[in-house]
Amino acid sequence: MENKDIENIDNDTMEKHEEKMEQESPKEIADLGEFGLIERLTKDFPLRNESTKKGVGDDAAVLSFGNKEALVTTDLLLEGIHFDLRYVPLKHLGYKAAVVNFSDVYAMNGTPKQITVSLGISSRFSLQHIEELYSGIRLACEIYGVDLVGGDTSASVTGLVISITCLGEAEKDEIVYRDGAKPTDLICVSGDLGAAYMGLQLLERENRVAAQSGNPDFQPDFSGKEYILERQLKPEARKDIVRELKEAGVKPTSMMDVSDGLSSELLHISKESHTGCRVYEEKIPIDYQTAVMAEELNMNLVTTAMNGGEDYELLFTVPLTDHDKVSKMKGVSVIGYVTKPELGCAMVTRDGAEIPIMAQGWNAFVNK
């Protein structure tokens, strides 16, 4: 599905939901109770997969995978740490919270099938707020063909807390781990890097300007920067790349998604695979809007692309013999190669110098 198609679905759904909210009077979540809230939020989630034998409504979901392997991943998002509701719409937050979990499953060369959603809700949120969050989760489930099968809710005194667990499946011999890279393997990455981080910088800048203006009707300036804004607020998991790799007959030797920054992920794969790596500065894919925003903010473009994080692109390695196949794949860049471990991990600059790769990406216990 093209981005413009997703945007049309998104806009239509938001307009209908806004009309519904205008017609309804505000309701307290406490009036519904836990089970009433769960029923209301999950009633529009039909089951789409044969492997889902029992979804929401019992003590546990029942899933049947036959001869396939089950994949399980979970993410915890905390208000004030992972997101700021001053500039992140609840619907976009719900969509992103689901998609980043799907991305982890695709990074294992699997297919996401089910999610559970658990929330910690503070008293400042109304029922309509939480329904808006769930509308984003529902949209993600519709687009990626995933079932909502359970979760939990609780009161919170620290703002909004979101915990999503995703279950996926893959054939046993198709799963790709982080530890399979071998010397001479090619290092590849999908899409472009640094855009999500520049989108975050844009949002934070406009939020500061709004606060300084003191004008309640302040309108942020996002003209010409729609792409980086979308990459931050509404990222997509690269199921298309997983599909193209399979169609091309290419099974990566290692793979993971770029959530904490390319530098961190390269070091993860190198550590788990007991290898080194070389990536080339000139080969790192960067979008034009990312470059323009970095220049506006006087930030180093390559540092942004290497360390920004939240791109949710796929970083993977393939045997050298697959060079021609991956080179023909649209949206995939070959950025370097795997080396022996004693050579370490480094980026080769445009003038041929080697700079050691350092993990400078996202760290939740530092980046507050």
Statement: residue 365 has pLDDT above 50: no
What span, in angstroms and rounded, lies between the C-alpha atoms of 233 and 199?
8
Statement: residue 30 has pLDDT above 90: no
Domain ranges of the chain: 3-174, 186-356
Statement: residue 6 has pLDDT above 50: no
The highest-level CATH class for domain 186-356 is: alpha beta
User: Could you confirm whether domain 3-174 is CATH 3.40.50.10860?
Assistant: no
Q: How many CB atoms lie within 10 A of CB 100?
A: 22
Contact 272, 130 (CB under 8 A): no
175: Cβ–Cβ under 8 A, 6 or more apart, which residues?
69, 71, 108, 109, 110
Contact 96, 233 (CB under 8 A): yes
Q: What is the pLDDT of residue 68?
A: 84
- 171: phi > 0 → left, psi -120 to 50 → alpha, else beta; which? beta
The SS3 of residue 4 is helix
pLDDT tens for each residue of 183-241? 999 999 999 999 999 999 999 999 999 888 888 888 888 999 999 999 999 999 999 99
What span, in angstroms and rounded, lies between the C-alpha atoms of 326 and 186?
10
Residues of the chain with pLDDT > 70: what percent? 89
Which residues sit opposite 170 in a β-bridge? 69
Residue range 242-265: average pLDDT?
96
Q: What is the pLDDT of residue 315?
A: 98
Show the CA angle centred on residue 310, arms to residues 308 and 312, nearest 5°: 125
277: Cβ–Cβ under 8 A, 6 or more apart, which residues?
187, 266, 269, 270, 336, 337, 338, 339, 345, 346, 357
Residue range 83-93: average pLDDT?
95
Q: What is the pLDDT of residue 23?
A: 56
pLDDT tens for each residue of 120-142? 999 999 999 999 999 999 999 99
Q: Which of 58-62, 250-254, 343-347 has the lowest mean pLDDT?
A: 58-62
The pTM (predicted TM-score) of the whole model is: 0.86
Statement: residue 63 has pLDDT above 90: no
Contact 55, 61 (CB under 8 A): yes
Statement: residue 101 has pLDDT above 50: yes
Give the CA-trace dihedral at 125, 311, 338, 340, to 10 degrees. -40
DSSP states of 283-298: GS---HHHHHHHHHTT
Element (H, E) at 108: none
